[in-house]
Amino acid sequence: MNNHFWLLVVSGLFSGLLAGLLGIGGGTVLVPILITMGYSYAQSVATSSLAIVMTSLSGSFQNWRMGYLKWNKVILLGLPGILTAFLGAYLVGQIPKYILEAAMACLLLITIYLSNLRQKLEKQGEETTRKTANPILSRLFTGGAAGLLSGLFGVGGGVIMVPLQMMFLGEKIKLAIQTSLGVIMITSISSCLGHAKAGNVLFSEGIILGIGGLIGAQISTRFLPKLPDQVVKICFYSLLLILSIYFFIRAWHGYLLR
């Protein structure tokens, strides 16, 4: 870890900046960075989960202290996520690495689409989208999808949960983000425990990333929103696109060498 200390610090800060600016978990960026640094896929996913536990606990506590956290909504989404997060952590050891890396590349591209979709929904203002005929099944699906992503890819799942809550449950953007963070707290703990049981978590690295994420989120929420939204969006999407191409190349080489 000594060789990577400052890179871990910067990575944690960067993920926190993105979380504060765009309302997404840092795992989307942390996992590719950790893999690029030479850590295995399983270690990268597991360690990212530990960092997300720290940042989501802090954010959820802040929301709870200010009276914004709706525990009934969090629990309904979080319970299926606990089970699927363990499933995702188990599947990491069962699926060939090149398939996981190709899936990560696809997830990065989906993240671009869903982030755009969420912004379009947010621009609708007070208008809510149509509710599904079966909100219970919608909550089970939304929470379950977030948990599976957390276990498989080490991401919080917020980029999936926020637009799904708005589309299927008619939630407004602020409530969807606050609920999503609470669910991420639950699913990331479950995912981290599953990976810790398999011996994949690198605790020192995860703590450094988590502390960096906490600091980065504080900075971004106070200062960086002054940056033009278009500039932030272009930089973020460009990064995701480059990382997606990188993972497709890794997956292709892994497929050829299997």
Q: pLDDT tens digits, the chain, 258 residues: what are they? A: 666 888 898 888 888 777 666 656 667 788 888 988 889 988 998 999 899 888 888 878 877 888 878 888 888 888 898 889 888 888 888 899 899 889 988 988 887 887 777 667 666 654 544 555 577 788 888 888 888 888 888 776 666 777 777 777 777 767 777 888 888 888 888 889 989 988 999 999 999 999 988 888 777 767 655 767 677 678 777 877 887 898 899 899 989 987
Q: How many CB atoms lie within 10 A of CB 131?
A: 13
Residue 215 DSSP label: H
Cβ(257)–Cβ(101) under 8 Å?
no
Instruction: Sketch the domain layout of the chain as residue ranges.
Output: 7-256
Give the per-residue pLDDT at 14: 83
Which residues touch 164 (CB under 8 Å, ≥6 apart)? 138, 141, 142, 145
Residue type, 19: A
Among 167, 213, 29, residue whose Cα is nearest residue 108 = 29
Cβ(49)–Cβ(81) under 8 Å?
no
Among 192, 152, 157, 191, residue whose Cα is nearest residue 176 = 157
Collapsing DSSP states into helix, strand and coil, what is residue 86? helix
Residue 131 DSSP label: P
Give the per-residue pLDDT at 165: 79
- Taking the model in full, what pTM does it have? 0.74
Burial class (CB in 10 A: 0-12, 13-18, 19+), 40: middle
Structure-block tokens of residue 33: 């960075």
CA 34 to chain centre: 15
